[in-house]
Amino acid sequence: MQTFDSDGIEIAYINEAPVGQASEIPILLIHGFASHIGMNWISPGWVSTLTEAGYRVVALDNRGHGKSEKLHDTTAYGGPLMAEDARRFLDHLGIEAAHVMGYSMGARIAAFLALKHPARVHSAVFGGLGINMVRGMAGTGPIAHALEAPSIEDVVNPTARTFRAFAEQTNSDLKALAACIRSSRDPISRDDVARLACPVLVAVGSKDVIAGSPTALAELIPTAKALVIPDREHMKAVGDKVFKDGVLDFLEQT
């Protein structure tokens, strides 16, 4: 993996060339909380699927995640700051505009990017985040405590325990993730998402209790449509074939 400097923060990334005839517009992938490029995009087959479809794929490890710099200060995180990492990433690669697909936390970051820099986002895919994008994330305290606990055996809250187990699975810096989830939760309002001008696809698993309804969010965005991924919860929807086929169809139409 390569790295670049994002306002003093070292950010790791990949830059994968398309196979065959290339689309004029690349796609930027932004992973979810406690994940990284490999877990969110390479292992589920997204990078190979998109490059084989002719897309140049660029993806970054968010600050505090993967191979990017680990920061333990809560003020170093938040959606708007991380969206600026994505914007500087596009600058670094000389990309004027891209399709942008984010999953879960990455979808929030993608939304902030599209709102602040609309000319840089040709289209957006919000995966794993529906109406809860505008409701915000509740209950982050137990997750932070779970990440800071001496051992997963000390974590009683089942949801928080799931996050701790996933963070351990991805070999994450637990202190960095705790700082990230404790950071200011900048709101995205219903009026904000109504201002999104690019085409938007909201894709959420039918059993995803974390994301909220994709249809309810899509109804707030004039340019959006919803995709329900059948029989999938939050973690299992990422690499689903219905999700991939839906995104490819969406990209072809934009």
What residue ranges define each of the domains in the chain, with the CATH number in brackets?
A: 2-135+184-253 (3.40.50.1820)
**pTM listed for this prediction:** 0.96
Share of the chain above pLDDT 90, in %: 93
pLDDT class of 51 with cuts at 50, 70, 90: very high
DSSP 77-133: -SHHHHHHHHHHHHHHHT-S-EEEEEETHHHHHHHHHHHH-GGGEEEEEEES-STHH
pLDDT computed for residue 137 by the predictor? 64
Nearest to 130 by CA among 212, 66, 232: 212
- Give yes or no for residue 139 having a pLDDT over 80: no
Q: How far is residue 64's CA from residue 178's CA, in Å, rounded to a whole number? A: 10
Q: How far is residue 159's CA from residue 145's CA, in Å, rounded to a whole number? A: 12
Q: Alpha carbon of 221 to those of 135, 225, 228: distances in Å? A: 15, 8, 16
pLDDT class of 20 with cuts at 50, 70, 90: confident
Residue bearing tokens 């995966």: 127
Strand partners, 102: 30, 126
pLDDT computed for residue 159 by the predictor? 86
Residue bearing tokens 């993967």: 66
Q: What is the mean pLDDT of residues 201-225?
A: 97
pLDDT computed for residue 138 by the predictor? 61
pLDDT computed for residue 206 by the predictor? 98
pLDDT computed for residue 191 by the predictor? 97
Q: What is the mean pLDDT of residues 73-91?
A: 97
pLDDT class of 152 with cuts at 50, 70, 90: very high
